[in-house]
Amino acid sequence: MTGTVYTALFLCTGNSARSIMAECALNRHGAGRFHAFSAGSHPKGHVLPETLELLTRLKYDVTDLRSKSWDEFAGPEAPALDFVFTVCDNARGEVCPFWPGQPISAHWGVDDPAACEGQHDQRMKAFKRAYLELESRIKIFASLRLEALDRLSLQNNLDIMGK
């Protein structure tokens, strides 16, 4: 390991569920190697209660989680990004801001758990399913020897993980 800490940004439209879960998962599973953030193109302004409930059950600290605009990561004071992932199909199709540093980007689409209608238990199953799908990709990503991969190989790996 080179000692480099990589930064990753997870994007979704509302930044209230999937991107928040991905941020938490990478910060946990990539601790010491990655610093993850999340944002949305049209943030809801709050994290969904089901997201917070699930993450709390999984022993994440949810104190500072918030729904925020991707504009926070496009300005001159923003952290330099190494990776940008879209986790919903809507965000994938949107014109993103210019990300300084030419980060590697990939689409890791996951069904929207907030779209699940039904009783609380059914909704929580949808949120857990989305989390587990993201977490499995993130564990693989966090285990890659990034310093041993050239940009094209890394891009190919990330694209394959998203399928």
Token pair belonging to 115: 């779209």
Partnered with residue 106 across adjacent β-strands are 85
Alpha-carbon distance values, 98 to 95, 108, 129 (Å) = 9, 20, 32
The verdict on whether 96 is a catalytic residue reads yes
The verdict on whether 24 is a catalytic residue reads no
Catalytic residue among 8, 9, 12, 146: 12
Provide the 10 A C-beta neighbour count for residue 93: 10
Catalytic residue among 54, 88, 91, 154: 88
User: Residue 44: left if φ>0, alpha if ψ -120 to 50, beta else—which one?
Assistant: alpha
Catalytic residue among 58, 96, 124, 161: 96
What is the set of active-site residues?
A: 12, 88, 96
